[in-house]
Amino acid sequence: VQRTFSILKPDATRRNLTGAVNAVIEKAGLRIVAQKRIQMTKAQAETFYAVHAARPFFGELVEFMTSGPVVVQVLEGESAISAYRDVMGATNPANAAEGTIRKLFAESVGENTVHGSDAPETAALEIAQFFAGNEIV
């Protein structure tokens, strides 16, 4: 059993889609073992997406991630990291497969509804950025 870190991004909370997205997550066999709604600070968003700091869209990305509340989550399941990436769909919703969260809900490559960790090392770091161990049950 593996854990991954998930964010329901501001476009999801703005459109009141957190329950709809969570239904897809749970239907995919992933268990939400921690969850909270927060307003990310600019510093938190910059730290979280530090790997993209040199990309041309970095400023826009930080702006978007702090534009409204997000729901941060820890998901647990068999091969949770790849399982969640599969159900999220491609970064650009135009390329996302049928039935994926981004195909169902995302509006653009920037406002693409969800984040999911891409590797065990990043999952551990991302979970630790937002959750204490005793918040994950």
Active site residue 115: yes
Stretch 51-90: interaction string toward ligand ATP, x if CB under 6 A: -x----x--xx-----------------------------
Q: Which two tokens stand for residue 7?
A: 């964010």
Alpha carbon of 22 to those of 32, 63, 71, 72, 82: distances in Å?
Answer: 8, 24, 10, 12, 17
- Cβ at position 31, least distance to ligand ATP in Å: 19
Identified catalytic residue from 24, 73, 105, 115: 115
Q: Give the span between the Cα atoms of 124 and 126, in whole angstroms.
A: 6
Interface with ligand ATP (CB under 6 A), residue from 34, 116, 126, 131: 116
Strand partners, 38: 70
- 102 is known to lie in a ligand binding site: yes
